[in-house]
Amino acid sequence: MVTPIPRGLMDGLTDIVGDRLSTTPPDRTAYARDLWPRSQLDRLAGDPPERPLAVVWPTSVEEVAALVTLCARERVPIVPFGAGSGVCGGARAVPGGLVIDLKRLKRIRRIDRAAMVVEVEAGFMGERFERTLERHGLTLGHFPSSILCSTVGGWVAARSAGQCSSRYGKIEDMVVDLEVVTGDGRIRRTSQAGGGLDWNQLFIGSEGTLGLITAVTLRVHRQPEARAFRGWRMPTMAAGLDVMRQTMQAGLRPAVMRMYDPVDTLLVGSKDDGKSGGGQLGKLKAILAGTGQLDDLKQAATRRALAAPRLLNFAIRQLPETSLLVTVSEGSPGEARQTDEAIAEYALAAGALDLGERPGRAWMAHRYDVSYKQSKLYRSGCFVDTFEVATTWAGIEPLYDAVRRAVAAEVLVMAHFSHVYPGGCSIYFTFAGTARDPGRMRQRYLRTWREALDATVARGGAIAHHHGAGLSRRSHMVATHGEARRYFAALKAACDPAGILNPGKLFAEEAL
């Protein structure tokens, strides 16, 4: 069935984008949501997200501006859409709304080698962008695990972080200038004013609520000439955290410093090196795979184990505290070697066992594998999600313990520590659970999120590090932003007077 779309709106849209418009059910279904696991659970519970009225694919900033002007006049909500890899519901459709897919804004406008900046349109896909830079001997240094399925504009809109953020910074550190279409249909450049306030930061992380980003000027770097890989078996998690802190506070900038907690170490170890605690798990998997029974057995065993999360989490706490620390140092050959050697000094002093290059190389080879694994667990009748938070060094272990305790009765929880900075780092929790039916599964999922967010707020942690807020953290935005929500309300009124840009995302409308 084709959606009933007001005649005036349909004519207006067609005038702007011609046949680059769809109202067909498959397109509207595909664009009803991003990769927020809650939407998947809603679907399983027979309550799928509402579909948008239509989807359009503009090819220029002028077309985007005309679309926004039309929607403001007709009071039609807009959801900007990059590649839909967001995991917080930021791009989930708004009923009666229009999805503007920006992927056809995909030109590189300028590569300025003297200034080391590149201007790229917002819809350029991440991995293709990095490969294009590579051909010029350059890198952005931004490698989110979702690089294959996310856009440059989506990175900026969601305040993304790549795997090498300890060396290159997060996306907000890379932006020089933005071209944005605000809710009044005007095309603005953020850097034109100059001096005083930094208007880039207004739109970075605004998740489509203040404007549609159509082009981004980014700082780039020369490709690293050399890399040094290393893995360390840390005697305790605390020892590993201290090595990471010392490294960053000494002014060193390894590209990757990533430590897995004991249970994550067990799972990673089964892929990586056979030395860090997971060798037996890896062998068992290989034998089962040979008999062809791995999938059935794995599904049944996973469901059964996840049905008793408290017991499972308790058993895990009895594991040896050993944690795998993986590092990648890069730059000139001298810099890569010196960084690696300096980390080695801290690690050996902390009683670590040197596992050689292999864990680092294995991590590099599998760095994007995560992107396509989620659906298998859902097929087994389980759910899985991730929850990334951040805090200062002194707060890391208390926050880690508090979140684990808060959700232990609901889900199996594990974590790794990455995105390391002189002041602190992020904790990336993965949790998985199950329940008797999809309705109960959704309730458990929502309880888990609420408890994890409550625990983070209570400990003064940041409730997100790089996934954004979307709908998933909306319930706790007032608790963390307090009165600053009034500034957001004022900005919203100034940038989006008709209130059409991604309404209800970041903050619930009634909270403003």
Ligand X SMILES: Cc1cc2nc3c(=O)[nH]c(=O)nc-3n(C[C@H](O)[C@H](O)[C@H](O)COP(=O)(O)OP(=O)(O)OC[C@H]3O[C@@H](n4cnc5c(N)ncnc54)[C@H](O)[C@@H]3O)c2cc1C
Please give the residues from 280 up to 299 whose contact with ligand X meets the rule CB under 6 A.
Answer: none
Q: Which of 153, 205, 254, 309 is close enough to bind ligand X by CB under 6 A?
A: 153
Distance of CA 70 to the CA centre of its chain: 32
141/153 with CB nearer ligand X: 153
207/330 with CB nearer ligand X: 207
Give the separation between CA 291 and CA 363, rounded to whole angstroms.
28
In the complex, least distance from residue 499 CB atom to ligand X, rounded to whole angstroms = 15
254 interacts with ligand X by CB under 6 A: no
Give phi and psi for 90, each to the nearest 5.
Answer: -60, -35
Q: Which of 31, 129, 155, 421 is close enough to bind ligand X by CB under 6 A?
A: 155
35/328 with CB nearer ligand X: 35
User: Residue 137 burial (CB < 10 Å; 0-12/13-18/19+)?
Assistant: exposed
Q: Which of 80, 331, 424, 461 is close enough to bind ligand X by CB under 6 A?
A: 80
467 interacts with ligand X by CB under 6 A: yes
97/231 with CB nearer ligand X: 97
Side chain identity at 494, as an amino acid letter?
Answer: A
Please give the residues from 492 up to 511 whose contact with ligand X meets the rule CB under 6 A.
Answer: 502, 505
Compose the 349-388 pattern: x for residues touching ligand X by CB under 6 A, - for all others: ---------------------xx-----------------
Q: Which of 58, 84, 205, 424 is close enough to bind ligand X by CB under 6 A?
A: 84
Can you tell me which residue has the tokens 């350059």? 138
Give the separation between CA 258 and CA 229, rounded to whole angstroms.
12
3/145 with CB nearer ligand X: 145
Encoded tokens for 422: 């002189």
349/370 with CB nearer ligand X: 370
Give phi and psi for 298, each to the nearest 5.
Answer: -65, -40
In the complex, least distance from residue 349 CB atom to ligand X, rounded to whole angstroms = 31
Give the separation between CA 116 and CA 138, rounded to whole angstroms.
9
7/373 with CB nearer ligand X: 373
Give phi and psi for 112, each to the nearest 5.
Answer: -110, 100
Please give the residues from 447 up to 466 whose contact with ligand X meets the rule CB under 6 A.
Answer: 466
CB atoms within 10 A of CB 180: 28
Side chain identity at 45, as an amino acid letter?
Answer: A
141 interacts with ligand X by CB under 6 A: no
Please give the residues from 168 up to 227 whose contact with ligand X meets the rule CB under 6 A.
Answer: 207-208, 212-213
In the complex, least distance from residue 74 CB atom to ligand X, rounded to whole angstroms = 19
Q: Which of 59, 146, 391, 480 is close enough to bind ligand X by CB under 6 A?
A: 146
Q: Which of 55, 67, 76, 91 is close enough to bind ligand X by CB under 6 A?
A: 91
- In the complex, which residue's CB is closest to ligand X? 154
b/e sequence 336-351, b meaning 16+ C-beta within 10 Å: beebbebbbebbeebe
Task: Residue 29: name the closest of 8, 43, 10 by CA.
Answer: 43
39 interacts with ligand X by CB under 6 A: no
In the complex, least distance from residue 203 CB atom to ligand X, rounded to whole angstroms = 8
H or E element, residue 61: helix 61-74
Please name every residue paired with 108 in a beta bridge, in sequence order, or none if there are none: 120
Please give the residues from 100 up to 119 whose contact with ligand X meets the rule CB under 6 A.
Answer: 102
Can you tell me which residue has the tokens 């969601």? 158
Q: Which of 76, 157, 204, 402 is close enough to bind ligand X by CB under 6 A?
A: 157
Give the separation between CA 336 and CA 349, rounded to whole angstroms.
20
CB atoms within 10 A of CB 155: 32
- For ligand X (CB under 6 A), the number of binding residues is 39
DSSP 210: S
Please name every residue paired with 125 in a beta bridge, in sequence order, or none if there are none: 151
In the complex, least distance from residue 506 CB atom to ligand X, rounded to whole angstroms = 9
Stretch that binds ligand X, among 156-164, 226-234, 314-322, 434-442 (CB under 6 A): 156-164
Q: Which of 32, 61, 76, 83 is close enough to bind ligand X by CB under 6 A?
A: 83
Please name every residue paired with 212 in a beta bridge, in sequence order, or none if there are none: 181
164/452 with CB nearer ligand X: 164
* CB distance 90 to 477 below 8 Å: no
Tell me if residue 481 falls in helix, strand or coil: helix
154 interacts with ligand X by CB under 6 A: yes
Between 309-317 and 294-306, two packed helices, what is the crossing angle to 10 degrees?
Answer: 90
Q: CA separation (Å) from 49 to 296, 443, 444, 506?
A: 30, 17, 19, 18
In the complex, least distance from residue 122 CB atom to ligand X, rounded to whole angstroms = 4
* CB distance 437 to 456 below 8 Å: no
Q: Which of 13, 55, 72, 87 is close enough to bind ligand X by CB under 6 A?
A: 87
130 interacts with ligand X by CB under 6 A: no
158 interacts with ligand X by CB under 6 A: yes
165 interacts with ligand X by CB under 6 A: no
Which stretches of the chain bind ligand X, using CB under 6 A?
A: 34-35, 79-87, 90-91, 102, 122, 144-146, 150-151, 153-155, 157-158, 160-161, 207-208, 212-213, 370-371, 466-468, 470, 502, 505
